[in-house]
C-alpha cells in the first residue's frame, strides 16, 4: 500500500507535537518541578532536543518509509521483527500506567479515592479501546490545545508570566553546574528514544518532501522546549503565591491550580478546567491499549476478532494497572520504560546503520543474539528498578537499564560476530589442509 505524502509543515509539526504532549509531559514536569525546582523541566526539554535531533535522520525515515521493526526484520529475519515488536509492546505498558496514575491524580482533586479510581480507569480504558473512537482523536487533541490555553491563563493570573522567565533563566545554570547520573539518565534515554520512536516516524514519512520533514522536526522541537517551562513556571508561581495547601502533592498540583483558576471544584468552570486534563487521558489511554492489542495480534498472527481483542486489551490493562498501583514518579516511569526499549533496539539499529553506510556488515545471527540478550537484560533490570530499587546504580534507574542493556547487547553482538568469523576461518583452514 502506497504511503500518502500529503503533510505540509504546519500539519506535520502539529502531529509531532501531539505525539509527545500529554499528561505525562504536563503532570510529570509539574511533579518534578514541585520537589526539584527548575531542573524539573529536564524531561520536557529533552523531548524538544530529541525532536530537533530527529531532523538528522528524517530523510533516512522518509526514504525507507517502513517502521523500524519492518526494516530490521526484513534484513535480519522474523525473530528480530518479533523481538522489536515485543519490546515496543512492553514499553507501552509503562506509558499506559502513567496515563492511569495521571488521570487518578486529577480525579483525586475531585475527591475520588486513588486505588479504586485506578481500577476503574483501567476498565474504562479497556472498554474504550474496543470502540471505534478514531474520529474522536481530533477532539482529544483539541482538548489538549485547550489545556495549553488554560495553563497559560493560569500562569498569567498567578504572576503575569514572570515565573516563566525565571524558569527559563534558572534551568540552564542548574544543568551546567554538573551533569549528575540522574540528569544523564533522563536526558540520554529521552533524546535517544525520540530518534527511534515510531509514533514520530509514522508522521515523518508522510511529509511532502524531506525538507518539510526536516523543518517540522526543528519547529516541533522548539515548541516542546517552549512548553517545557510552562508547568514548571505555574508550580513555581503557585508556591511563591502560597496558594497550594499542604495536602497537595506534585502530581495533583496542576489539577488543583486549574480548579482554583475556575473558582473551585464545586463551580462549573472549575470542573471544566480539570476536565480539560482528565478527558484527553481517556483518548490517550485507550489509544495506547488499541496499539498494544494490534501489536499482540500481529506478533501471534491472529485475526482481529472481538474475543481476541477483548482478551488482549484486558491483559494489557491489567499489566498497566499493576504498575500504576505500585505508584512512583511519572517521569521516572516514562523514562525507565524508554530505557528498556532503547537497550534492546539501539544496538541492532546501529548495526543496520553501519551496513547502510557501508562501514561494516554484521551477520544475521549476531544481530539476533544482540537483540535477545539486550532485551532480556533490559527487562530484568527494569523489573529490579521497579521492585528492588536498592540494586540501582548511581541513583539512576535509567542509566542502570541503559548501561546493563546496551552493554550486554554490544558484547553479544561483537562476541557472536567474532565467534562466527573464527569458525569461518577455521573451516577455510581445514579445507585448505584437506586440499
Whether 429 shows a pLDDT value over 60: the answer reads: yes
**Nearest-angstrom CA–CA distance, 293 and 311:** 9
Considering the domain boundaries, does residue 4 fall inside one?
Answer: no
Return the percentage of the chain with pLDDT > 70, whole number. 93
Mean pLDDT of 391-416: 89
**Three-state SS letters, the chain:** CCCCCCECHHHHHHHHHHHHCCHHHHHHHHHHHHHHHHHHHHHHHHHHHHHHHHHHHHHHHHHHCCCHHHHHHHHHCHHHHHHHHHHHHHHHHHHHHHHHHHHHHHHHHHCCCHHHHHHHHHHHHHHHHCCCCHHHHHHHHHHHHHHHHHHHHHHHHHHCCHHHHHHHHHHHHHHHCCCCHHHHHHHHHHHHHHHCCHHHHHHHCCECCHHHHHHHHHHHHHHHHHHHHHHHHHHHHHHHCCCCCCCCCCCCHHHHHHHHHCCCCCCHHHHHHHHHHHHHHHHHHHHHHHHHHHHHHHHHCCCCCHHHHHHHHHHHHHHHHHHHHHCCCHHHHHHHHHHHHHHHHHHHHHHHHHHHCCCCCCCHHHHHHHHHHHHHHHHHHHHHHHHCHHHCCCCCHHHHHHHHHHHHHHHHHHHHHHHHHHHHHHHHHHHHHHC
> Residue 2: inside a domain, yes or no?
no
Note whether residue 3 is domain-resident.
no
Q: What is the pLDDT of residue 4?
A: 76
Angle between the 78-110 and 268-300 helix axes, to the nearest 10 degrees? 160
98: containing domain: 9-434
CATH number at residue 414: 1.20.1730.10
Lowest mean pLDDT among 173-187, 293-307, 391-405: 293-307
Mean pLDDT of the chain: 85
> pLDDT category, 133, cuts 50, 70, 90?
very low
pLDDT at 232: 93
In a domain, 365, yes or no: yes
Report if residue 234 sits inside a domain: yes
Q: Which of 38-52, 71-85, 212-226, 266-280 bottoms out in mean pLDDT, i.e. has the lowest?
A: 266-280
How confident is residue 36, by pLDDT bands cut at 50, 70 and 90?
Answer: confident
- Residue 435 pLDDT > 80, yes or no? no
Distance CA 350, CA 71 (A): 12
**How many Cα atoms occupy the beta-carbon half-sphere of 99 within 13 Å?**
28
CB 111 within 8 A of CB 255: no
Q: Which of 238-242, 352-356, 370-374, 393-397 is the most confident on average?
A: 370-374
Task: Note the pLDDT of residue 132.
Answer: 61
pLDDT of 358-377, one tens digit each? 889 899 999 999 999 999 99
Beta partners for residue 207, in sequence order = 7
Give the pLDDT band of residue 161 (cuts 50, 70, 90). Answer: confident
pLDDT score at 143: 66
pLDDT of residue 91: 84
Residue 423 has pLDDT above 60, yes or no: yes
Buried b (16+ CB within 10 A) or exposed e, 358-384: eeeebbeebbbbbbbbbbbbbbebbeb
pLDDT level of residue 392 (50, 70, 90 thresholds): confident
Domain count, the chain: 1
pLDDT at 26: 87
Whole-number pLDDT of residue 415: 94
Nearest residue to 24 (alpha-carbon basis) of 110, 101, 118, 111: 101
Find cell 589442509 and name the residue: 433
Is residue 349 situated within a structural domain? Answer: yes
The pLDDT score that the predictor gives to residue 134 is 46
pLDDT tens, position by position, 199-215: 788 788 888 888 999 99
β partners of residue 287: none
Residue 424 binned pLDDT confidence (cut-offs 50, 70, 90): confident
Q: What's the CA dihedral at 218, 222, 228, 230 to 10 degrees? A: -150
Residue 58: partners with Cβ closer than 8 Å, 6 or more residues away: 204, 207, 210, 213, 214, 217
- Asked if the model's pLDDT at residue 123 lies above 80, the reply is yes
Mean local confidence (pLDDT), 371-390? 88
Out of 175-189, 363-377, 394-408, give the one with best mean pLDDT: 363-377
Among 22, 65, 345, 338, CA closest to 213: 65
The pTM assigned to this predicted structure is 0.84
Least trusted range by pLDDT, from 15-24, 40-49, 394-403: 15-24
Q: Buried (b) or exposed (e) across 28-65, using 16+ Cβ within 10 A?
A: bbbbbbbeebbbbbbbbbbbbbbbbebbebbeebbeeb
Amino acid at each position: 500500500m502506497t504511503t500518502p505524502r500529503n503533510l505540509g509543515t504546519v500539519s506535520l509539526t502539529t502531529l509531532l507535537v501531539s505525539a509527545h504532549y500529554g499528561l505525562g509531559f504536563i503532570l510529570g514536569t509539574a511533579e518534578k518541578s514541585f520537589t526539584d525546582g527548575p531542573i524539573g523541566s529536564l524531561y520536557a526539554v529533552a523531548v524538544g532536543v530529541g525532536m530537533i535531533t530527529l531532523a538528522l535522520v528524517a530523510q533516512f525515515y522518509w526514504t525507507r518509509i517502513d517502521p523500524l521493526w519492518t526494516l530490521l526484520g526484513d534484513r535480519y529475519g522474523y525473530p528480530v521483527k518479533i523481538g522489536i515488536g515485543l519490546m515496543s509492546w512492553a514499553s507501552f505498558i509503562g506509558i499506559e500506567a502513567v496515563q492511569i496514575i495521571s488521570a487518578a491524580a486529577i480525579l483525586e482533586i475531585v475527591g475520588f479515592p486513588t486505588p479504586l479510581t485506578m481500577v476503574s480507569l483501567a476498565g474504562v480504558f479497556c472498554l474504550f479501546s474496543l470502540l471505534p473512537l478514531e474520529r474522536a482523536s481530533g477532539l482529544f487533541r483539541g482538548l489538549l490545545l485547550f489545556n495549553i490555553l488554560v495553563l497559560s491563563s493560569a500562569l498569567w493570573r498567578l504572576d503575569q508570566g514572570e515565573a516563566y522567565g525565571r524558569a527559563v533563566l534558572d534551568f540552564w545554570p542548574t544543568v551546567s553546574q554538573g551533569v549528575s547520573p540522574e540528569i544523564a539518565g533522563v536526558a540520554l534515554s529521552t533524546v535517544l528514544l525520540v530518534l527511534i520512536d515510531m509514533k514520530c516516524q509514522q508522521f515523518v514519512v508522510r511529509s511532502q518532501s524531506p525538507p518539510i520533514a526536516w523543518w517540522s522536526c526543528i519547529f516541533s522541537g522548539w515548541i516542546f522546549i517552549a512548553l517545557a517551562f510552562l508547568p514548571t513556571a505555574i508550580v513555581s508561581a503557585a508556591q511563591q503565591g502560597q496558594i497550594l495547601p499542604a495536602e497537595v502533592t506534585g502530581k495533583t498540583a496542576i489539577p488543583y491550580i486549574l480548579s482554583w483558576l475556575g473558582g473551585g471544584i464545586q463551580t462549573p468552570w472549575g470542573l471544566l478546567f480539570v476536565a480539560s486534563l482528565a478527558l484527553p487521558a481517556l483518548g490517550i489511554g485507550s489509544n495506547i491499549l488499541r496499539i498494544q492489542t494490534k501489536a499482540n495480534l500481529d506478533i501471534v498472527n491472529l485475526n482481529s476478532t472481538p474475543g481476541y481483542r477483548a482478551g488482549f486489551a484486558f491483559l494489557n490493562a491489567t499489566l498497566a494497572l499493576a504498575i500504576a498501583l505500585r505508584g512512583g514518579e511519572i517521569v521516572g516511569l516514562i523514562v525507565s520504560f524508554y530505557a528498556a526499549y532503547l537497550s534492546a533496539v539501539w544496538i541492532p539499529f546501529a548495526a543496520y546503520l553501519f551496513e547502510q553506510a557501508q562501514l561494516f556488515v554484521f551477520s544475521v545471527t549476531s544481530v539476533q543474539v544482540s537483540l535477545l540478550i539486550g532485551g532480556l537484560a533490559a527487562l530484568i533490570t527494569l523489573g529490579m528498578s521497579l521492585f528492588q530499587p536498592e540494586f540501582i546504580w548511581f541513583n539512576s534507574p535509567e542509566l542502570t537499564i541503559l548501561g546493563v542493556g546496551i552493554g550486554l547487547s554490544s558484547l553479544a553482538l561483537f562476541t557472536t560476530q567474532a565467534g562466527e568469523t573464527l569458525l569461518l576461518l577455521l573451516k577455510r583452514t581445514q579445507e585448505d589442509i584437506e586440499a
